[in-house]
Structure 1
Amino acid sequence: MLTDVTLRDGLQSLPTVVPTQRKIELVQELIAAGCSRLEVASFVHQKLVPTMADADTLCTQLPRGRGVAYGGVVLDVRGMHRFMAADLDWAGVVVAASDTFLARNQRCDKAGALERIAGIEQLRRGSRVRISGYIGCCFVCPYEGAIDPARVGELCDALLQLGVDDIYLADTIGRGTPPATRRLLDEVLRRVPLDRLGVHFHDTYGQAIANLDVALLAGVRRVDAAASGLGGCMFAPGASGNVASEDVLTLFDGHGLATGIDARRVAQIGQSLCRELGLPNFSNASRALLAAQEILNTGGNRE
């Protein structure tokens, strides 16, 4: 199950604010390409994340009733009230395996972040809303260095006790490697049922697809990705974009995993967005798919 995070994580750290109407068009394009699970907003203070200032307005304009599920990131009870009013399907709550990172990102430590998640969990009780718990800095913290997998495992236990529906392991700064991914999964899968575990890889060091391959071989099927590898973490120095949807879809195909998503259409969507924003296309598969399409369109004649 691929969750497209282009609209939230892909656009969140940009210096340019994408207009709400363009975001809605992007949602429509992604749905037309076959995406059925989209993370569209972050319910945080607009001074901290100005690119997400239109979250409430955006959610009133989302196309509904097409079998599409929408989610958004929530960091505290105030954000959860906004989320509930927006009538989305799942909320992503966040803790990190590093107190220093949390202090700089959310102005709290692990205990404080878990306390906030407990409050969010209380608000959603009795509703149809699902909660996905994200654990950031699973491999390396930009301030504290390497993270012990056991520390991540303890946070998994805490999140499950709070009642989250699933857990996503997030490589916030893209420092994970295949051997480290295997070690982390060995620890976490002793605590989290396989069907409730997902991954959120960033590609700063070019390891995201290799890490994802390890996760798929272990049976993980919940994956976050963004068109053209857009995104990054504004609170993590040097962190670049998400693993590219086009690359993920190519890998899924190699594993015989059907998604119903048209990788070529996603490549076209991502390329168009990159051109609008003046950003490079970070997806290898996208460049190959677009080149192959151009050859088909021209019959191999470039004159």
Structure 2
Amino acid sequence: MSIQPHLPKQVKIVEVGPRDGLQNEKETISAAIKTELVDRLTQAGFANIEAASFVSPKWVPQMATSTEVMAAIARRPGTIYSALTPNMQGFEAALAAKADEVVIFGSASEAFSQKNINCSIAESIARFEGVAKAAKDNGLRLRGSISCAFGCPYQGEVPLDAVADVVGRMRDLGCDEIDIADTIGVATPRKTQAVMARAIEAFHVDGLSGHFHDTYGQALANIYASLELGIAIYHSSVSGLGGCPYAKGATGNVATEDVLYMMNGLGIATGIDLDLVVDAGQFISQQLGRKGSSRAGNALAAKRAAA
């Protein structure tokens, strides 16, 4: 007797490698390489690619070429190209670069908010009111990202009520989608379902996404746990790009190839060509001079090479 849980028939994968994945790389990556990476991901069929970040180059030097990259990429109609915008200056740059979606961010952890941006959660969200209004006035999609929703490097446990509160604040700003992020990768499936269930109470399930890091190897299990609740949007990073600054040596973002391999096995449609994503992962790994951290990507590449 087989037990088939009720899972979504289709999911949207938001590819965050070009922004969230590359931003912590120490060696400067040229705009041409970033552009080719985005173009390869576009060709693979992603409906949403996080391609740029309009933050101060002083704080995130790797993203200093965002304007150049956004001007050079070969855009596919229907694909959403997103940019992180921390303030109105960043928003104006994103608007000029023809971003389709701007991303604002806050933390579910009061300690994390104070440590990183020296203000409370409420103050941090209030700072985005101008950006949110400008996005709506200009017809752009608005996405809100909530970090440390499952645990914090400073305070440890994050109350479910705190997550729901920030979801509500993001909702009230007019966000079309809200990301629930396991920034340090500490979640396990039961905790994941508790957090997601609370988020669903504060926002419609169709607009919630899971952003899981694989620090402790739990990301795929947490995605499956979220699928069981009807969450149908997930973030991932090609070749597992991205580290976790709070856990030395941790891989950070869950690898796109691994997520796609699981979705294919579950019979869940993504509209994405896994073979082309493997190619993109091998390409960027070669450019960075190291082996990628996607198990499925490396296995498929090795199988291909042996054929």
TM-score class, shorter: over 0.9
Question: Which digits, 9 at most, give the CA deviation of each residue in 1:202-222, with x for residues without a partner?
Answer: 111111011001111211111
Shift of 1:255: 2.5
User: What is the match of residue 91 of structure 2?
Assistant: 80
Matched, 1:157 2:199: no
Question: Which digits, 9 at most, give the CA deviation of each residue in 1:47-104, with x for residues without a partner?
Answer: 1000001112221212234332100111112211111111111111100012332233
Residue pair 2:136, 2:142 contacting (<8 A) in 1 also: no
Q: Which amino acid aligns with 1:197?
A: L
Matched, 1:50 2:58: no
Residue pair 2:184, 2:252 contacting (<8 A) in 1 also: no
Shift of 1:109: 2.1
Residue pair 2:18, 2:51 contacting (<8 A) in 1 also: yes
Give me the TM-score of the superposition, normalised by structure 1: 0.93
Residue pair 1:3, 1:225 contacting (<8 A) in 2 also: yes
Shift of 1:36: 3.0
User: What is the match of residue 223 of structure 2?
Assistant: 212
SS of the residue 2:179 aligns to: strand
Q: Which amino acid aligns with 1:147?
A: V
User: What is the match of residue 301 of structure 1?
Assistant: none
Matched, 1:193 2:173: no
Shift of 1:159: 1.1
Matched, 1:24 2:35: yes
5+ residue gaps, structure 2: 1-11
Count of paired positions: 295
- Counting only pairs closer than 5 Å after superposition, residues 141-290 of structure 1 correspond to structure 2 as 141-234=152-245, 236-238=246-248, 240-290=251-301
Q: 1:100 to 1:240 in 2, by over 3 A?
A: farther
Shift of 1:237: 4.6
User: What is the match of residue 294 of structure 1?
Assistant: 305
Residue pair 2:36, 2:73 contacting (<8 A) in 1 also: no
Give distance in 2, aligned partners of 1:286 and 1:121.
37
Residue pair 2:197, 2:229 contacting (<8 A) in 1 also: no
5+ residue gaps, structure 1: 297-303
Give distance in 2, aligned partners of 1:27 and 1:73.
16
Q: 1:105 to 1:233 in 2, by over 3 A?
A: farther
Give me the TM-score of the superposition, normalised by structure 2: 0.92
Q: Which amino acid aligns with 2:204?
A: P
Residue pair 1:166, 1:197 contacting (<8 A) in 2 also: yes
Q: Of the candidates 130, 133, 137, which is equivalent to residue 122 of structure 1?
A: 133
Give distance in 1, aligned partners of 2:173 and 2:280.
38
Residue pair 1:156, 1:167 contacting (<8 A) in 2 also: yes
SS of the residue 1:215 aligns to: helix
Q: Which amino acid aligns with 1:270?
A: G
Deviates more, 1:262-271 or 1:99-108: 99-108
Residue pair 2:42, 2:76 contacting (<8 A) in 1 also: no
Give distance in 2, aligned partners of 1:103 and 1:79.
22
Residue pair 1:9, 1:232 contacting (<8 A) in 2 also: no
Q: Which amino acid aligns with 1:45?
A: S
Shift of 1:280: 3.3
Q: Which amino acid aligns with 2:270?
A: T
User: What is the match of residue 299 of structure 1?
Assistant: none
Shift of 1:275: 2.4
Question: Which digits, 9 at most, give the CA deviation of each residue in 1:248-291, with x for residues without a partner?
Answer: 10121122211221112211221221122123321111122112
Q: Give the superposed CA RMSD.
A: 1.5
Q: Which amino acid aligns with 1:169?
A: I
SS of the residue 1:180 aligns to: helix
SS of the residue 1:190 aligns to: helix
Give distance in 1, aligned partners of 2:42 and 2:24.
23
Give distance in 2, aligned partners of 1:20 and 1:266.
20
Residue pair 2:215, 2:247 contacting (<8 A) in 1 also: no
